[in-house]
A and B are shown apart, each in its own frame.
Chain A
């Protein structure tokens, strides 16, 4: 138990162990967290809420653009685009499951198992990004650009599609890098199970956002 924890615990402990006088009043003035979560997890939750508002804003703008464009195009067909989207969804959902495996293993102190689960999550994240980039390159070859529509009609489709899926892809790539950093740190003993859990929160959020992106941007634009 640290001096600070003892000081926060009770005055008797302080008296008994002779904690440095300067730490005592400050520590006693500290309130326990009303949420009983660590500062890292709380910070991640606040980031997630802010980021959810960002994605929400993007999706609302997409909705408004679509409502106000009389010549909106629906370019996607079941094969290959929707099938590809379903595979991407499967990969991302599965990566959430492997991330949960990593968190459970880390909390149980099974380092090797945790690293395996994290490795699987990284691999699935990379597969998702590759599938996404392959789809993008296919669309770009067809002439799609953020402000160019090869099918005629509203150019806003490309703007909405590339910006929202691009923002999500950026989150996926950032998540893969973050998980890799956490995995290396966890292996070396620099990071704890709580760090794996906080990174997992971010990864599940990326998955959660895709649950709205796939139906709204893919399914509603298919024919």
Chain B
């Protein structure tokens, strides 16, 4: 991303290609779901694929790639940090896991 690239937004043909890519990822997610993968592997795979989808949507559909780089660096790392803190430092997260009841 450079300042020179700002506002050089691609045309509809490019967006259709991204759209096809996103649909293909969704199809792959459904395919993986019915491959009887272990739960952790499936969860990790689906989250990674969703993150790729989100990245494509953010950078191309939402034109973040064509804005000044500092907009990306101000917003996205901050959001990821907040989500990370929410997931890992949430007060009750680990206590709840330890309180889990045995399977009946």
Q: What residues make up the interface of B, taking CB atoms closer than 8 Å to A?
A: 6, 9, 11-12, 15-16, 19, 22-23, 26-27, 29-30, 33-34, 42-43, 46-47, 49-50, 53-54, 57-58, 61-63, 67-68, 70-71, 74-75, 78-79, 82-83, 86-87, 90, 92-93, 96-97, 99-104
The smallest beta-carbon distance between B4 and chain A, in angstroms, is 13
Contacts A78-B34, A93-B23; A36 near B6 (Cβ below 8 A): yes
Q: Main SS of the interface on chain B?
A: helix
Residues of B within 8 A of A67 (CB): 96-97, 100
B71 nearest CB neighbor, chain A only: A35
Instruction: Name 14 interchain pairs, CB-CB below 8 A, sorted by A.
Output: A35-B68, A37-B68, A37-B71, A56-B83, A64-B90, A64-B93, A64-B96, A90-B26, A94-B19, A205-B62, A208-B57, A211-B53, A214-B26, A215-B50
In the complex, whether A15 has a CB less than 8 A from a CB of chain B is: no
- Chain B interface: which of A95-103, A137-145, A163-171? A95-103
Bound Cα distance from A216 to B46, whole angstroms: 8
* Beta-carbon contact of B67 and A57 below 8 Å: no
Bound Cα distance from A78 to B31, whole angstroms: 11
In the complex, whether A222 has a CB less than 8 A from a CB of chain B is: yes
* Beta-carbon contact of A70 and B29 below 8 Å: no
Bound Cα distance from A60 to B97, whole angstroms: 13
A: interface residue count bin: 35 or more
In the complex, whether A49 has a CB less than 8 A from a CB of chain B is: yes
Contacts A53-B83, A68-B97, A71-B104; A45 near B71 (Cβ below 8 A): yes
Residues of A within 8 A of B9 (CB): 104, 107
Bound Cα distance from A67 to B87, whole angstroms: 13
Bound Cα distance from A214 to B32, whole angstroms: 14
Q: What residues make up the interface of A, taking CB atoms closer than 8 Å to B?
A: 34-37, 45, 49, 52-53, 56-57, 60, 63-64, 67-68, 70-71, 78, 82, 86, 89-90, 93-94, 96-97, 100-101, 104, 107, 197, 201, 204-205, 207-208, 211-212, 214-216, 219-220, 222
Bound Cα distance from A93 to B29, whole angstroms: 15
* Beta-carbon contact of B87 and A211 below 8 Å: no
* Beta-carbon contact of B11 and A53 below 8 Å: no
